Structure 1
Amino acid sequence: MLDALLVDPADRAQEDTGQSIGRISGTFLGTPYGPGTLIGSATLPEELVVNFLSMDCFTFLEYVEALRRSITKESFILRLIETRYVRNEVNFLRRKHFFTDWAHVTHPIADDVAGNVSKHSQTTEKKLNQKDIDETYIPGLPVVERPVTYIPARFIDLDVVERLQTGDYIGIYAPQAGLDVSHVGIFVVTDHGPMLRHTSSIEHRVSDSPFIEYVEKKTGIVVLRPHHDFALRRGYSQT
């Protein structure tokens, strides 16, 4: 499957970022949902996992983001490490466990654009990973204070949708103080309208859900826009 996803550089050059993400993510439609495919914890050594046979919502995004910047198998592995880990270090403590890590850690790969997409966006100060006073969501991982900006569901209308772009990474805002999002997917404009392309634990596969119908039942959305020039800045044509 990897070979089929690695497009000739000349053809890839004809695509913009959104087209590339839309095409690559579409290849995964129907792929089974599989939770907990990554290996590593505070007590178990981290391993680099590549699994196209099943994936959860976040690993789906990781594979798409890495693939859209890859032209060889070797470059895909490097781009996946770059996407999944801080400072390219395959280590549990360096893994980007939270969606907003993509926009806030060293060498971010996306921009938080919720504030640009809607004037009704709100920002909440979070203590990511803190579940209770003496408990964390992910054992062994420190608590990180971070502002999280989101668009409340009641303000997500056609005007907001028109400001979104195919390829935007969407997080479903989590109201808990220690979480940023509860689910992630990709905004894609299709022949059937705007969709959230995501790995659904309900449908047990990668599928498209009508965007507004899906998000209007949620708390709100976080919007991360991938860097259009990231591939060139970080050595797209190199392995």
Structure 2
Amino acid sequence: MRRHFCKGVFGLIVACLSPVAVQAAPLVFSVPDQERVAQIESRIVALKGFSERVDAVSAQFLGTPYIANTLIGGPDTPEELVVRFDGVDCYTFVDLVRALTLSENQTGFIAALKKTRYHDGHVAYLERRHFLTDWAALTPQNARDITLTLSPQVQVTRKDLNRRADGGVYIKGLAAHPRDIAHLSPEFLTPEVAAKIRTGDVIGIYTKLDGLDVTHTGLAIWKNGVLYFRNASSLKANMKVVDTPLAAYLTGKPGFLVLRMVEAG
């Protein structure tokens, strides 16, 4: 089995919090990308349903190249708020989609992106939502974890997130913290379970690795009665945002979890 890791999970770069007065983080947002936001917003302005908006926004990313490590920050480099549409990883893809879905203009998009990507909207590396389940655990809440409602077969595993098997950490400066991770084995993705998943729900690919909740993430999209997994794929055969039938994608994977986005910024 080839294990598919979203490189964004491991490629996030450490930034230290400054002990001096807090200043607004620099914004990395090119003119072409600002124009792209305006184009996408104009295409969804008439759409009112949340799932419909997520579908329409995320479809604009189909074919977008997969690029890891697009966010800026490091031990000696302040965190910057990065907006890029020329390439995404699995995390920045869902970040951007949620922020665009919730906004109507550039100002609203930036505000929504801050709250989506960072705990309490504070742009700093240690405030990033490094783990997918941070979407449900940290404020403002991006989503609710609905995995436990899917099936009696859901399992719950207690993990010390950020703690490697060797005792080290994935994210320097971030304390390990215990969290119960609900997940369902792919064999239990029956038609009845699939029917409980909506277009726009966030799908996480569960991992058995110590210290991590998922190794990849994307969006659930229903098309013609088939449930697809829309994701920024780092597989060599793809290296772009693609749609793959969820059942096929989950073959050989240890499990999956489902988060339902909160329909407010």
Same fold (TM over 0.5): yes
Q: Percent identity?
A: 36
Determine if contact 2:44/2:53 at 8 Å carries over to the other structure: no
- Against the structure 1 CA distance between its residues 8 and 178, is the aligned structure 2 distance closer, same or farther, given a 3 Å change threshold? same
Match of residue 167 from structure 1 = 200
Runs of 5+ consecutive residues of structure 1 not aligned to the other structure:
235-239
Match of residue 243 from structure 2 = 208
1:100 and 2:100 are equivalent in the alignment: no
Match of residue 39 from structure 1 = 72
Match of residue 146 from structure 2 = 113
Work out the CA distance in 2 between the residues paired with 1:170 and 1:219. Answer: 13
Determine if contact 1:42/1:92 at 8 Å carries over to the other structure: no
Match of residue 65 from structure 1 = 98
Deviations 1:4-33 (A, max 9, x none): 111388613xx2111111110001000000
SS in 2 for 1:223: strand
Match of residue 214 from structure 2 = 181
SS in 2 for 1:166: coil
Match of residue 186 from structure 2 = 153
Measured on the aligned residues, the alpha-carbon RMSD in Å equals 1.5
Match of residue 237 from structure 1 = none
Please report how far the alpha carbon of residue 192 of structure 1 lies from its aligned counterpart in structure 2 after TM superposition.
7.0
Determine if contact 1:151/1:220 at 8 Å carries over to the other structure: yes
Of 44, 49, 52, 1:16 maps to: 49
Please report how far the alpha carbon of residue 112 of structure 1 lies from its aligned counterpart in structure 2 after TM superposition.
0.2
Determine if contact 2:62/2:241 at 8 Å carries over to the other structure: yes
Match of residue 2 from structure 1 = 37
Work out the CA distance in 1 between the residues paired with 2:153 and 2:42. Answer: 39
| Runs of 4+ off more than 2 Å | 7-10, 41-44
Determine if contact 2:186/2:247 at 8 Å carries over to the other structure: no
1:227 and 2:252 are equivalent in the alignment: no
Work out the CA distance in 2 between the residues paired with 1:33 and 1:192. Answer: 27
Work out the CA distance in 1 between the residues paired with 2:165 and 2:181. Answer: 19
1:28 and 2:61 are equivalent in the alignment: yes
Determine if contact 1:42/1:93 at 8 Å carries over to the other structure: no
Match of residue 51 from structure 1 = 84
Work out the CA distance in 1 between the residues paired with 2:212 and 2:45. Answer: 41
- Count of paired positions: 228
1:139 and 2:144 are equivalent in the alignment: no
Paired residues for 1:74-89 under 5 Å: 74-89=107-122
